[in-house]
């Protein structure tokens, strides 16, 4: 897509705490506006702003990193990338979808909780998604639930969207249960959410899924997800795994 140069600045005092509090300023038509990172609707509504903020200024490269790890795993397995039918959850304006198509995935279907994400994906990357759901996985409308179940996905991806008031463990579990068994999944997650002191519930859920043979982690890669606005690196894990069976209701 076309590159713009927005006049992006960050607050002078780095009061930004990773995640929900972070904000930046953008100057357009002589007006300076404050935007919080989580105001995705506002960010997506300006073409190129999401890319310039997260990818150019804050050096995020997670979609490419996770797609590479998924592809490396597939190369050493009997699976063909073109056989993947992927549900990309928290798809935003389609950067992960684009990476999935780059590695040769079959149909990719996007899902996001806000309408602006679907609109911007269609606007910026119209060739990527075969379909795009605007839906809340924890409260699916009947017709979406039936059509997602019928789609028979064999792979799920969730990039830069777990935790931090984005996708909670229950929605992650609901997405996981929408893919077939065996199936593949690939996601990235903040390093702290994978350690025993984690309070978000992700570490507990994922550990339990491994212990109960619901999933097998195939690759786990520690890497720099992006920078904080003062230049501090923010580390994540990229994870690729194989789904063995659904998460039972009793575990949620």
Ligand X SMILES: C[S@@+](CC[C@H](N)C(=O)[O-])C[C@H]1O[C@@H](n2cnc3c(N)ncnc32)[C@H](O)[C@@H]1O
Residues that bind ligand X (CB under 6 A): 40, 62-63, 89-92, 95-96, 112-114, 117, 136-137, 159-161, 166-167, 171
Shortest reach from residue 162's CB to ligand X, in Å: 9
Minimum CB distance to ligand X smaller for 112 or for 198: 112
Shortest reach from residue 166's CB to ligand X, in Å: 4
Minimum CB distance to ligand X smaller for 26 or for 95: 95
SS3 per residue for the chain? CCCCCCEEECCCCCCCCCCCCCEEEEEECCEEEEEECCCHHHHHCCCCHHHHHHHHHCCCCHHHHHHHHHHHHHHCCCCCHHHCCEEEECCCCCHHHHHHHHCCCCCEEEEECCHHHHHHHHHHCCCCCCEEEECCCCCCCHHHHHHHHHHCEEEEEECCCECCCCECHHHHHHHHCCEEEEEEEEEEEEHHHHCCCCCCCHHHHHHHHHHCCCEEEEEEEEEEEEECCCCCEEEEEEEEEEECCCCCHHHC
Q: What is the token pair recorded at 90? A: 């928290």
Residues 6+ apart with CB under 8 A from 81: 71, 74, 103, 104, 105, 106
Shortest reach from residue 66's CB to ligand X, in Å: 9
Q: Name the residue with the smallest CB distance to ligand X.
A: 92
Minimum CB distance to ligand X smaller for 26 or for 100: 100
Minimum CB distance to ligand X smaller for 19 or for 245: 19
Find how far residue 21's CA is from the centre of its chain. Answer: 19
Shortest reach from residue 96's CB to ligand X, in Å: 5
Minimum CB distance to ligand X smaller for 210 or for 228: 228
Shortest reach from residue 121's CB to ligand X, in Å: 9
Minimum CB distance to ligand X smaller for 55 or for 73: 55
Minimum CB distance to ligand X smaller for 171 or for 209: 171
Shortest reach from residue 250's CB to ligand X, in Å: 23
Shortest reach from residue 190's CB to ligand X, in Å: 12
């Amino acid at each position: 897509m076309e590159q713009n140069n927005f006049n992006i600045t960050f607050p002078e005092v780095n009061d930004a705490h990773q995640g929900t509090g972070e904000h930046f300023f953008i100057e357009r038509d002589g007006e300076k506006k404050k935007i919080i990172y989580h105001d995705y609707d506002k960010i997506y509504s300006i073409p190129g702003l999401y890319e310039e903020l997260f990818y150019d200024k804050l050096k995020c490269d997670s979609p490419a990193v996770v797609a590479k790890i998924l592809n490396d795993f597939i190369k050493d397995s009997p699976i063909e990338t073109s056989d993947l039918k992927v549900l990309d959850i928290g798809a935003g304006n389609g950067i992960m979808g684009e990476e999935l198509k780059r590695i040769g995935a079959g149909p990719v279907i996007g899902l996001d909780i806000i309408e602006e994400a679907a609109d911007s994906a269609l606007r910026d990357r119209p060739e990527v998604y075969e379909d795009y759901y605007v839906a809340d996985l924890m409260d699916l409308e009947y017709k979406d639930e039936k059509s997602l179940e019928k789609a028979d996905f064999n792979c799920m991806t969730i990039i830069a969207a777990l935790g931090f008031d984005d996708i909670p463990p229950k929605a992650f579990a609901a997405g996981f249960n929408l893919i077939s068994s065996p199936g593949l999944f690939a996601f990235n997650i903040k390093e702290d959410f994978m350690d025993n002191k984690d309070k978000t519930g992700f570490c507990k859920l994922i550990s339990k899924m491994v212990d109960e043979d619901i999933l097998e982690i195939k690759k786990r890669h520690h890497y720099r997800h992006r920078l904080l606005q003062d230049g501090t690196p923010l580390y994540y894990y990229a994870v690729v795994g194989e789904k063995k069976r659904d998460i039972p209701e009793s575990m949620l």
